[in-house]
């Protein structure tokens, strides 16, 4: 098993290289719905994914990704990504924290945005936008280590 997804604390594992997407709160693996939010009594769905994922979205809950993601969106919840975003990241009413946004935008209507390099635009109606130095620092140390300068 290579990828792990937690939904409200319940653990699900998927084979390495699986195409895992989260659309309308449903976790879909290789085209098949494997986790349906209707199976949970809770109204808020909190999702944690360990590994890279193409797309993640939820209408009511938090998304945490310990890897890279192409696009991610919440209607009402925070987004925390320990890797990079390939395209857009957006939340209607939540904070966004991520590494670099490679070719897209970061948008939150009422939340803070804290990202590394953004190759698009960052906008929020009632929050702060800050630049995370984490990605720049790790890139700099990577260059120093590869040159053997430490």
Which residue, 42, 40, 37, 53, is CA-closest to 3? 53
Kindly report the average pLDDT of the chain as a whole number: 80
pLDDT at 121: 93
pLDDT at 86: 93
Secondary structure of 100-122 in HEC code, one letter for each residue: CECCCCEEECCCCEEECCECCCE
pLDDT at 59: 79
Q: Where are the domains of the chain?
A: 3-147
Residues in the chain where the model's pLDDT stays below 70 = 1, 17-25, 40, 43, 133-150
pLDDT at 57: 82
pLDDT at 145: 41
Going by C-beta distance under 8 Å and a sequence separation of 6 or more, which residues neighbour residue 109?
91, 92, 93, 124, 125, 126
pLDDT at 142: 42
């Amino acid at each position: 098993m290579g990828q792990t997804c937690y939904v409200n604390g319940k653990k699900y594992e998927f084979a390495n290289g699986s195409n895992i997407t989260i659309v309308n709160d449903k976790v879909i693996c290789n085209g098949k719905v494997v986790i349906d939010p209707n199976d949970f009594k809770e109204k808020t769905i909190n999702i944690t994914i360990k590994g890279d994922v193409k797309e993640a979205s939820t209408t009511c809950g938090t998304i945490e990704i310990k890897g890279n993601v192409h696009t991610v969106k919440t209607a009402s919840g925070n987004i925390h990504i320990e890797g990079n975003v390939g395209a857009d990241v957006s939340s209607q009413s939540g904070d966004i924290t991520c590494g670099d946004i490679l070719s897209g935008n970061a948008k939150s209507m009422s939340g803070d945005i804290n990202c590394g390099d953004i190759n698009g635009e960052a906008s929020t109606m009632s929050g702060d936008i800050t630049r995370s130095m984490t990605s720049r620092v790790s890139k700099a140390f990577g260059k120093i280590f590869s040159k053997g300068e430490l």
